[in-house]
Amino acid sequence: MTSSSDTLRGIFLRGDDVPVILRHVSRSGLQRTIDVLAPYSLMSLSIEVADVLGLRRDPERIGVIVQGGNMDMLFKLVYDLGIALYDDGYALTYNQL
């Protein structure tokens, strides 16, 4: 977890936009697969994000599996990432691609 945290801190600085793609929504609408990308290179960082946040990965759709509904789950994922990296949920913002 520490190396993933250090890697992500080196890529996403405080105040950066995190590029995300909503890859899949379940039929019930309560589970989503979200891919987190590196800015400018658009390389997937979902493995590192899943490690840092303790979430499952969806290898078929390439992304992090996020549970929940009735809210902006892209915001929730990036908010949780900001807390994990900088102890501040608003340290990062997201940009949906």
C-alpha to C-alpha distance for 46 and 42, rounded to whole angstroms: 11
Q: Which residue type does 75 have? A: F
Partners of 21 in beta bridges: 35
| Residue 89, token pair as written in the block | 């949920």
Q: Residue 14 pLDDT > 70, yes or no? A: yes
**CA-CA-CA-CA dihedral for 39, 48, 65, 63, to nearest 10:** 50
Mean residue pLDDT of the chain comes to 94
Helix (H, G, I), strand (E, B) or coil at 57: strand
46-83 pLDDT, tens digit per residue, is 999 999 999 999 989 999 999 988 889 999 999 999 99
Its pTM stands at 0.92
Say how many CA atoms lie within 13 Å of 49 toward its Cβ: 30
Quick one: pLDDT at residue 1? 53
**pLDDT-derived band of residue 2, with 50, 70 and 90 as boundaries?**
low
